Structure 1
Amino acid sequence: MGTIGIFASIPGQTVGVSVFTDPLKDALGLSRNQFSNAYMIGTLLSSFFVSKSGVLFDKFGARYVAFFATVILGISLLLASISVQISEGIKTILNSNSWTVPFGIMTLLFFFMRFSGQGVLTMASRNMIMMWFNKNRGKVNSISSIAISLGFSSSPIFLNRLIENNGWEVSWQLLALSLFIFSFCIIQFYRNKPEDFNLKPDGVKHTDIKVEVDQENNLTLNEAKKTRAFWMFGLVLAFSSFFTTGFTFHIVSIFSSQDYSRAQAIAIFLPISIIAIIVSTICNILSDYIQHKIYLYLMLISGIIASLGLLWLASPIGIYLLIGGLGILSGLFGVINAVTWPRYFGRKYLGAISGKVMSFLVIASAIAPSLFSYCYTKLGSYGYIGYLNLLFLGVLLIASIKVKKTQ
């Protein structure tokens, strides 16, 4: 159910919104820059509230938090489907034909879509899975990660077909209806934690005296923020969100700047996805047995490899470095973002801690497209992003040497 809940967040994720970009911006009369800026501002605003929702997760549990997030996302999609009519109505009342009216409407709608979809529903669904497992947490997450990778990679094809058959307005309305139906499934099938049912993580009864009781070291958010591990893992995840979002957003432009075709640019997603699934599966299973600090180093090194690939994109070796680096980076992202937090800081305050980290990811994903664009339009090359990445990763690599698991 947690995995299906993450699927349900797709309409609020970049991969779900991007399919609606062209028909929506044309219908509203917005330029690509104006539409992108509305998306960026709405995403940035949502990041300030996502961390607060983590506290609500700890207080009320996944069931109610995910339910309200799903309802809010559904309502947002319904309003977005009639955004043109709303815009025209406000223009008539104000007696104005300014672009700021649809811009303001979409900024507000993007705020709710990103907050409820990318932020709260994803966080609550993933955390619920982690709450129910301890020793088998990595194994279970490997199954969930494979399903999520396949679901997210195929969703643009499904959504594009939906738009071609029904139009973008009806497509959003159908998605909203599906979310309202799923919200009732959440109430029926989501369960907050095993202790509510006299169970322990991994499905063991409290009354079984043969089972050794693992003493979790539950840290509050403030205590976690005082550790080096919180910042190193959080910042490397933010880097992954920044680089993958910016690179994906400008993928065609990045490759065309080095005289590659659109088809060649899009073609690299398949090998990246294959590598990511393989890495995610293996590392999730091994995460039950090895130190997660190893994953931190691997993620930093893969980021360096991908950044060098961006710098050397003019040569074939650059493409191989990009594919390998981004594949490993994406695969490890799902492991650290799900398994590491309860492993290092316990489950009691998992919502507050993961919610704070989610705000890092949302901010990074919001500023990435604009920063990539600025480097190309103002400085003349996407390569400057590679230099910026290497500097940031170099600092993190040195700072990560003293990372320790809390005792």
Structure 2
Amino acid sequence: MRGKAIHYGWIIVALGFLSVLGAHGFGRFAYSLVLRDMKLSLDLTYAQMGDIASANFIGYLALATIGGALASKYGSRRVISISAMVMGVTMILTGLSRSYFEVLVLRFLTGLGNGSTYLPSMALPSIWFALKYRGRATGYVSAGIGVGFALAGVLVPPILALYAPEGWRYVWFYLGSALIAISIVDLIFLRNRPEDLGLKPVGFEESTLSPSPSSSSSLRWGLVYKSKEVWFVGLVYFMYGFSYIIYVTFFAAYLEDVFGWSKALASSLWFMVGILSIFSGVIWGWVSDVLGRKYGMCLAYLVLASSYLLFAIALPPYGLYVSALVFGLTAWSIPTVAVVAAADYVSSELRSAAAGFVTFFFGVGQVLGPKVAGHVIDVIGFPPAFIIATLASLVGAFGSLLLKKPRKG
């Protein structure tokens, strides 16, 4: 007797996982591990390094905002594969850069590719899965962030050591090549909708799913941009973008500059965060399916706030470790729940667009976070920057409680 065939939706989840791994794990979070080496090699300040991070997030913001809409109109397969290729090429070029301005421009361009790779990838489960499974499926995709995060912690330090003092350049060469490989895999195997293969979404039930329009010409974008609920999800999501990026951008530099940690020790803690964060999206996606989006987001924000506060005050002897542990287990909770929450308020053909719209607010937070924190660190030090992140996360927790319950669909 033949076993039941695997629904292609799970292949889509695996491809989304791989794309998110490259886009965020390699394209974004590796920057924290090479930040100090780039700073010394190019003779830059922390304010300038913060500005470079902000340029990357401006690029991310520019295309994440419309990336979902582009995926809805032109197809996730085309948008994700092209965007991953752009990331790969610009990361390699970053390794060849010789000045602050060159790095600034190239990190901006990498951010463009990041925005239109990550967001449509995270929105794939909302297209391929019924409502009751979306949180968990999106959690599996977001686990790619943690795996990429952890892999960066393993791969980057030996590359830096092997090619010192210019090892950071080779980091971008290798990771950029990986993004190019991922773009090719996406182009070959990704499919836009279950209907393209004659399938229904995973968990499909006639009584709970509304029919979707047969063509993209019938898309009604105004239903996304006029939705008060989607707007509010975006405002809540802003607080995560602003707060978490302060933590991850200056994580290694804080440990090395303030506490005198070696690069290897700082990277090992980074690796631990990455390993733990693999499960964060799955855990919190499940929590949001059980408790509801608003309670899941509120709880996640409170846990994240405790992590930032512990990092700021660094209580001996284990405060830094506990902070990393708590952050790792909650790291990608808000992106998982926020994308699903926004998608819950609209019909299936507009879910990528809704996810892209709320990511605009997330992106604004990411632009402002490193810029504010970099200047704060140059003037008064690291701890106040992490206190600012704590306060922003608490605001996000309060805002989450005001989210409305979506209709079934």
Q: 2 CA distance for matches of 1:315 and 1:23?
A: 28
- 1:190 shift after superposition: 0.5
Name the structure 2 match of 1:180. Answer: 180
Which of the two has higher C-alpha Rg?
Answer: 1
> Residues 228 and 404 of structure 1 are in contact (CA less than 8 Å); yes or no, is this contact kept in structure 2?
no
- 1:330 shift after superposition: 1.6
Name the structure 2 match of 1:159. Answer: 156
Q: When the two structures are superposed, what TM-score results if normalisation uses the length of structure 2?
A: 0.76
> Residues 139 and 280 of structure 2 are in contact (CA less than 8 Å); yes or no, is this contact kept in structure 1?
no
Alignment of 1:37 onto 2:51: yes
- 1:56 shift after superposition: 1.0
1:404 aligns to what SS in structure 2?
coil
Name the structure 2 match of 1:197. Answer: 197
The runs of 5 or more residues in structure 2 that have no matched partner are 1-14, 214-218
Q: 2 CA distance for matches of 1:36 and 1:399?
A: 27
Q: Structure 1 304/3 Cα, relative in aligned 2: closer, same or farther at 3 Å?
A: closer
- 1:115 shift after superposition: 1.4
1:382 aligns to what SS in structure 2?
helix
Name the structure 1 match of 2:209. Answer: 214
1:123 maps to which of 119, 143, 146: 119
Name the structure 1 match of 2:361. Answer: 360
> Residues 132 and 203 of structure 1 are in contact (CA less than 8 Å); yes or no, is this contact kept in structure 2?
no
Letter in 2 for 1:240: Y
> Residues 280 and 332 of structure 1 are in contact (CA less than 8 Å); yes or no, is this contact kept in structure 2?
yes
Name the structure 2 match of 1:87. Answer: none
Name the structure 1 match of 2:340. Answer: 339
Q: 1 CA distance for matches of 2:239 and 2:388?
A: 14
Q: 2 CA distance for matches of 1:80 and 1:271?
A: 27
- 1:199 shift after superposition: 1.8
Q: 2 CA distance for matches of 1:81 and 1:278?
A: 31
Q: 2 CA distance for matches of 1:176 and 1:384?
A: 30
- 1:360 shift after superposition: 2.5
Q: Structure 1 385/281 Cα, relative in aligned 2: closer, same or farther at 3 Å?
A: closer
2:67 aligns to what SS in structure 1?
helix
Letter in 2 for 1:81: G
Name the structure 2 match of 1:138. Answer: 135
Q: 2 CA distance for matches of 1:77 and 1:381?
A: 28
1:6 maps to which of 8, 20, 28: 20
User: Could you tell which deviates more after superposition, 36-45 or 290-299?
Assistant: 36-45
Q: 1 CA distance for matches of 2:267 and 2:346?
A: 39
Letter in 2 for 1:378: V
Could you tell me the percent identity over the aligned residues?
20
- The aligned runs of 1:4-403 (5 Å cut-off) are 4-10=18-24, 13-22=27-36, 24=38, 28=42, 30=44, 33-84=47-98, 102-117=99-114, 119-134=115-130, 135-165=132-162, 167-169=167-169, 172-202=172-202, 211-212=206-207, 214-215=209-210, 222-227=222-227, 229-251=229-251, 260=259, 262=261, 269=270, 276-277=277-278, 279-306=280-307, 308-309=309-310, 312-314=313-315, 322-323=323-324, 326-327=327-328, 329-379=330-380, 382-383=383-384, 386=387, 389-390=390-391, 392=392, 396-403=396-403
> Residues 233 and 336 of structure 1 are in contact (CA less than 8 Å); yes or no, is this contact kept in structure 2?
no
> Residues 152 and 271 of structure 2 are in contact (CA less than 8 Å); yes or no, is this contact kept in structure 1?
no
1:403 aligns to what SS in structure 2?
coil
State the superposition RMSD in angstroms.
3.8
Q: 2 CA distance for matches of 1:164 and 1:246?
A: 26
Q: 2 CA distance for matches of 1:285 and 1:274?
A: 19
Letter in 2 for 1:199: L
Q: Structure 1 51/189 Cα, relative in aligned 2: closer, same or farther at 3 Å?
A: same
Name the structure 2 match of 1:89. Answer: none
Q: 2 CA distance for matches of 1:233 and 1:325?
A: 24
- 1:343 shift after superposition: 2.6
User: Could you tell which deviates more after superposition, 226-235 or 334-343?
Assistant: 226-235
Letter in 2 for 1:339: V
Q: Structure 1 402/157 Cα, relative in aligned 2: closer, same or farther at 3 Å?
A: closer
> Residues 240 and 303 of structure 1 are in contact (CA less than 8 Å); yes or no, is this contact kept in structure 2?
no
Query: Between Structure 1 and Structure 2, how many residues are aligned?
Result: 382
**CA deviation profile, 1:68-108 (whole Å, cap 9, x unmatched):** 11221232134333334xxxxxxxxxxxxxxxxx2322221
